[in-house]
Structure 1
Amino acid sequence: MAHEVRFEPGLYRGTADYYDRFRLPYPDAMIADLVHRAAPSGQGRLLDLACGTGQLSFPLRDRFAQVWSVDAEADMTELVRAKAVAADAPHIRAVTADAEELHADPAQFELIVIGNAFHRLDRARVAQHACTWLRPGGHLALCWSNSPWVGDQDWQRALAALLHTWQHTLGAATRVPSDWNRSRQRTPDHQVLSQAGFEPLGRHEFSVEHRWTIPDIAGHIRSTSFLPPSVLSDHAPAFDTALTTELTRHTPLTEAVSFAYDLFRKPTSKVSHE
């Protein structure tokens, strides 16, 4: 398999509050469809890898007796713990760990979900671990959503150009490797998971009409790894002014937000090896 691009640790440090407030939730229809296809028993365990602030853990929590919410960033897992207390969900267990280094017993999860993060992990290693951690017949779902600056509308192009300019202005252009997607193009996710022993069950797509406000986009940008609060720092007021000036020319800021998940199954006859 091609060499995986390495993302530096700590890229999301300090973003948890923004991530929780300004990332759009996965649509109810997608969550319901995933539950229908994965058919959890209600008595099993869910593993949410690279969980962020629990964008999948919380909407799926009622279908599992225990939820492991795992993220490498302590800010993220601290917020998951606080949300679990507020939601009276003691069965959500927040774990601060790299997905590649997580210790879990074999065959103890019914479902593993990874939201907008598989490309940042050592995919082959995580896929092998996941196949071991899942019980036979269990499922893995790679969940995705697009960002507001990805699209062909004038406001999206203007936003993408503005972000590009500010990344270079603030010396943040290399925080995300420029070739981050090269290894995935050579060896797609479904191939990595198939090589680990998974059966692909297809992609399921959902679209939600959304109207952004400029403050919401500003908050969303602060939830990213390329322009987090630590990078904007004292330049944040100037950035917000530039963002407002640019996007005010293009209102309304509406788009059809794309969500999807790719579903895989561990065969009942699969014997996993690490």
Structure 2
Amino acid sequence: MMRPAQPASAAVSDDALFGPEAAGYARYRPGVPDAAVHLLAATQHGVPAPVLLDLGPGTGQVPRALLPVLRRLVHIDLVDVNVSMLDAARAVLEPVRGACTVDVFTGAAHTFAPAAPGRAPTLITCCRSFHWMARPEVLSMADRVAAPHAVVAIMVDGSLWTHEADWTAALRELIQSYLGEDRRAGTRGTYAEPSDRSYEDDLADSAFSEVTEHHFPLSRAWKPEDVIGYLRTTSFARPTLFADRHHEFEAAALHLLQNHADGGVLKEDAVFTVLLARRSGGAA
């Protein structure tokens, strides 16, 4: 069961939070596993002109991975409150989009409306970002705009904060020694314990109540320097939280990570989970 992390109510994934780190996000955030990409593409079997609506796209990882696999994709809508991320995503897609058109919508996901008629999404994706959103409202929006047999795909794989390993536990303790016990989230707030509602609960109460769950175990190998770059892109260890102690923190973190690395590598064993949801009567 997928239970979302809960940012503080004031926390919004806006330019103040992730905007300055768009380049680092593209470089250090893990991509979408190939098996998950092929699963997404398979949902469009028999769809003559697939349209993708990607919510919270970051730097465009999902559409960038889909384009070479789902070559029939005719249009992509990217929706985010973060202008810098949208600019980065468009730049990443431009060399590979071919005849596929791309539009961007700056605003909260639940307020999205297609810019032109005839572009009802047949696939709606939300990768590592659903927890930032007004989830029931987003699913209501999806019901309004999506094609009759559209698929909603919600994807998550946790973070280095939640991953359980000796090196991530030590890193978490180091961050807390600088920022306090509470995990930071958003631009001002802290992490709140997950609500009793899971993503499955949200989907069950929406039009997209036919759900299948898919798990893809994976192993990642991190270099200590790449973990430092990754931390700069997170809401829990971004540079501004440390103020004038950020350089000191990064030096301490790099030393810690180097000590934990085996042959210069830090291992992360994770599971990438995909929820595929259709309206009642469809086969997810």
Pairwise same-fold verdict (TM > 0.5): yes
Contact persistence 1:198–1:264 (CA under 8 A): yes
Helix, strand or coil at the partner of 1:206 = strand
Compared CA separation, residues 61 and 268, structure 1 to 2 (3 A): farther
| Other-structure match for 1:218 | 228
Give CA-to-partner distance per residue, 1:37-73, whole Å, 9 cap, x none: 4436251210000111111121123521001111110
For 2:74, the equivalent position in structure 1 comes to 65
2:152, 2:276 within 8 Å by CA — same for their partners in 1? yes
Structure 2 residue 106 is the aligned partner of structure 1 residue 96 = yes
Q: Which moved more, 1:13-22 or 1:149-158?
A: 149-158
Structure 1 window deviating more from structure 2 (49-58 vs 102-111): it is 102-111
Q: Paired residue for 2:144? A: 132
Match of 1:145 in 2: 157
Shift of 1:177: 3.5
The secondary structure found in structure 1 opposite 2:90 is: helix
User: 1:233, CA displacement in angstroms?
Assistant: 4.9
Q: 1:128 to 1:180 in 2, by over 3 A?
A: farther
Structure 1 Cα separation of the partners of residues 184 and 158 of structure 2? 21
Match of 1:242 among 246, 249, 252: 252
Give aligned-pair identity as a percent.
25
164, 173, 183: which one aligns with 2:176? 164
Shift of 1:198: 1.2
> Separation in 2 of the partners of 1:173 and 1:80?
23
* Structure 1 spans left out of the alignment, 5+ residues: 270-274
What CA distance in whole angstroms lies between the structure 1 residues aligned with 2:57 and 2:10?
17
Shift of the alpha carbon at 1:36?
1.7
2:199, 2:173 → 1: CA distance?
Answer: 29
Question: SS of the counterpart of 2:180?
Answer: helix
TM-score norm. by structure 1 comes to: 0.86
Indicate which of 258, 265, 268 corresponds to 2:278.
265
Find the counterpart in structure 2 of residue 24 from structure 1. Answer: 30
1:199 aligns with one of 209, 231, 249: 209
The Cα shift of 1:172 comes to 5.2
Query: In structure 1, how many angstroms separate the alpha carbons of the residues matched to 2:175 and 2:46?
Result: 41
Structure 1 pair 121/244, CA: closer, same or farther in 2 (3 Å)? same
* Structure 2 residue 11 is the aligned partner of structure 1 residue 8: yes
| TM-score, with length taken from structure 2 | 0.83
Deviation at 1:200, TM superposition (A): 2.9
Give yes or no for contact 1:107–1:132 (8 Å, CA) kept in 2.
no
What value does the CA root-mean-square deviation take over the aligned residues? 2.6
Instruction: Give me the whole-angstrom Cα distance separating, in 1, the residues matched to 2:235 and 2:185.
Output: 11
Q: Aligned-pair distance for 1:150? A: 2.4
For the 8 Å contact 2:185–2:235, the answer to whether it is kept is no
Relative to 1, partners in 2 of residues 1:107 and 1:95: Cα closer, same or farther, differing over 3 Å? closer
Q: Is the deviation greater in 236-245 or in 134-143? A: 236-245
Residues 45 and 228 of structure 1, relative CA distance in 2, 3 Å threshold: same
Structure 1 residues 149 and 119: alpha-carbon distance in aligned structure 2, compared to 1, 3 A threshold: closer
CA separation of 1:149/1:103 partners in 2, compared to 1, >3 Å: closer, same or farther?
same
Residue 61 of structure 1 aligns to which amino acid in structure 2? L
Q: How far 1:13 sits from its partner (Å)?
A: 2.8
Runs of 5+ consecutive residues of structure 2 not aligned to the other structure: 1-5
3-state SS in 2 of match to 1:217: helix
AA at the equivalent of 1:118: F
Aligned counterparts of 1:18 and 1:149: Cα–Cα separation in 2: 18
Residues 93, 261 of structure 1: CA spacing in aligned structure 2 closer, same or farther, 3 A cutoff? same
Offset at residue 87 of structure 1 (A): 3.0
1:123 matched residue in structure 2: 135
User: Aligned to 2:92, what secondary structure does the other structure show?
Assistant: helix
- The Cα shift of 1:166 comes to 2.7
Alignment partner of 1:14: what SS? helix
Q: Note the C-alpha offset of 1:18.
A: 1.2
- In 2, Cα distance between the equivalents of 1:172 and 1:113? 26
